[in-house]
C-alpha cells in the first residue's frame, strides 16, 4: 500500500523508526521499494553523487525532474520526497510553480532548506506536503560542519523547527546537528524528524544510497558503508575488458546462428553478385 503523511506520523506516534534513503534511478527505486524503505529522497545530493557536480548549488529543477521521473517509475509503496533545488524557491510564487512541477512528475512531497515560513505556508495552502531541512543546509552552507553545538545556534535551530512546524511542515530533516539537540527537537515536535549525521534519537534516519553501497571511495563519519560496490564494479569492468581484449567474450552461449539453409542461400546470393565472402 502506498505510504503517506499519516502513515509517517503514525510511525512517530508508535515509536517505530522511519526508514529513508536517497535514490536517483529506476532499478534502485525498485529495490528500495521492495526493501520497505518508507521515504525515498530524490535529493539534490544527485548533483555530487551522480552528475559529477561540484556542489548542490549546480542542481537544477530539470535535473531533479529527470531523476524523479525515473524513480517514480520504479516505486509502488514508498513515499517519494523531492528536493526543491537551489534558487527554485526564492518567492512563494516561484516555489509553488516548481513544487507543482515536482508533484506532477511523481513527488508525494517536496523539501526545502532553512527557515522559510512564507514558502511553507504557500505550499501547504495548495495541499503540497512540505518537509523542512535544518542544521547543515547543503544548498546554503559551503562548509560541511556540525550546526548547533553552541547554545545560541542550538536555540535558533529549536525555534526554527517550532516555527516551521507551526507553518505546516509535516516532517523535518535534521542534518549534522549534535545528538542532544536532535533529541530535544524530536521531543518538542509532533511531526517526525529524520536525521542524517544527527544521532540516534530522531524519528527516522536517511542516508545517501551511494554511501551505504560504497559506490564512492569517500568514507563519511555520518554514514555506514555496508558494501564495497566501488571495488566490485571496478573488478567486474576489468574482467569484462580482459575478456573482450582476449577474445574470451562472447562465447557460443552468448550468440545466435543462422539456420544452415538460410546461410547457404545468402552465400549463393553473394557469389552471384561478385561479392567475395571469406566463409566456406
**What residue ranges bind ligand KIV (CB under 6 A)?**
22, 41, 43-45, 83, 173, 175, 196, 206, 208
d(CA 160, CA 146): 17
Nearer to ligand KIV, 185 or 206 (CB): 206
d(CA 41, CA 66): 14
Nearer to ligand KIV, 128 or 173 (CB): 173
Q: Give least dist CB 85 to ligand KIV, A.
A: 9
Q: Which of these is catalytic: 32, 56, 113, 175?
A: 175
Report the candidate in 123, 109, 137 with the shortest Cα–Cα distance to residue 40: 109
Strand, coil or helix: 248: coil
Nearer to ligand KIV, 83 or 165 (CB): 83
Report the candidate in 73, 68, 80, 66 with the shortest Cα–Cα distance to residue 2: 80
d(CA 249, CA 246): 8
Let me know: does 155 contact 111? Beta carbons within 8 Å.
no
**Does residue 93 carry a catalytic annotation?**
no
d(CA 192, CA 178): 17
The CA-to-CA distance between both ends of the chain, in Å, stands at 62
Nearer to ligand KIV, 222 or 239 (CB): 222
Q: Give least dist CB 142 to ligand KIV, A.
A: 15
Q: Give least dist CB 77 to ligand KIV, A.
A: 20
Let me know: does 206 contact 195? Beta carbons within 8 Å.
yes
Nearer to ligand KIV, 171 or 196 (CB): 196
Let me know: does 203 contact 182? Beta carbons within 8 Å.
no
Strands 204-207 and 193-196, by their bridges, are parallel
Q: Give least dist CB 123 to ligand KIV, A.
A: 17
Q: Give least dist CB 94 to ligand KIV, A.
A: 20
Q: Give least dist CB 206 to ligand KIV, A.
A: 5
Query: Which residue's C-beta sits nearest to ligand KIV?
Result: 43
**Helix boundaries (H) for 4-147:** 5-13, 26-34, 46-49, 61-74, 92-104, 117-125
d(CA 196, CA 184): 15
- Please list the residues that pair with 80 across neighbouring strands: 40
Nearer to ligand KIV, 38 or 44 (CB): 44
User: Which residues are catalytic, by number?
Assistant: 175
Amino acid at each position: 500500500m502506498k505510504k503517506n503523511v499519516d502513515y509517517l506520523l503514525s510511525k512517530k506516534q508508535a515509536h517505530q523508526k522511519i526508514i529513508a534513503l536517497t535514490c536517483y534511478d529506476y532499478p534502485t527505486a525498485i529495490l528500495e521499494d521492495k526493501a520497505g524503505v518508507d521515504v525515498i529522497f530524490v535529493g539534490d545530493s544527485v548533483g555530487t553523487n551522480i552528475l559529477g557536480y561540484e556542489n548542490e548549488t549546480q542542481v537544477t529543477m530539470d535535473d531533479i525532474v529527470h531523476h524523479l521521473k525515473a524513480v517514480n517509475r520504479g516505486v509502488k509503496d514508498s513515499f517519494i520526497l523531492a528536493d526543491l533545488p537551489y534558487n527554485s524557491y526564492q518567492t512563494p510564487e516561484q516555489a509553488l510553480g516548481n513544487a507543482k512541477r515536482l508533484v506532477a512528475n511523481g513527488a508525494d512531497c517536496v523539501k526545502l532548506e532553512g527557515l522559510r515560513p512564507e514558502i511553507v505556508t504557500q505550499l501547504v495552502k495548495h495541499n503540497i506536503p512540505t518537509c523542512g531541512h535544518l542544521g547543515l543546509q547543503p544548498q546554503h552552507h559551503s562548509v560541511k560542519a556540525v550546526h548547533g553545538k553552541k547554545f545560541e545556534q542550538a536555540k535558533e535551530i529549536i525555534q526554527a523547527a517550532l516555527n516551521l512546524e507551526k507553518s505546516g511542515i509535516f516532517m523535518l530533516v535534521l542534518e549534522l546537528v549534535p545528538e542532544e539537540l536532535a533529541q530535544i527537537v524530536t521531543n518538542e515536535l509532533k511531526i517526525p524528524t529524520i536525521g542524517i549525521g544527527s544521532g540516534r534519537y530522531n524519528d527516522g534516519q536517511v542516508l545517501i544510497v551511494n554511501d551505504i553501497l560504497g559506490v564512492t571511495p569517500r568514507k563519511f563519519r555520518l554514514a555506514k558503508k555496508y558494501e564495497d560496490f566501488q571495488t566490485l564494479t571496478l573488478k567486474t569492468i576489468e574482467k569484462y575488458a580482459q575478456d573482450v581484449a582476449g577474445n574470451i567474450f562472447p562465447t557460443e552461449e552468448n550468440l545466435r546462428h543462422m539456420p544452415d539453409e538460410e546461410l547457404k542461400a545468402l552465400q549463393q546470393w553473394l557469389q552471384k553478385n561478385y561479392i567475395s565472402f571469406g566463409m566456406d
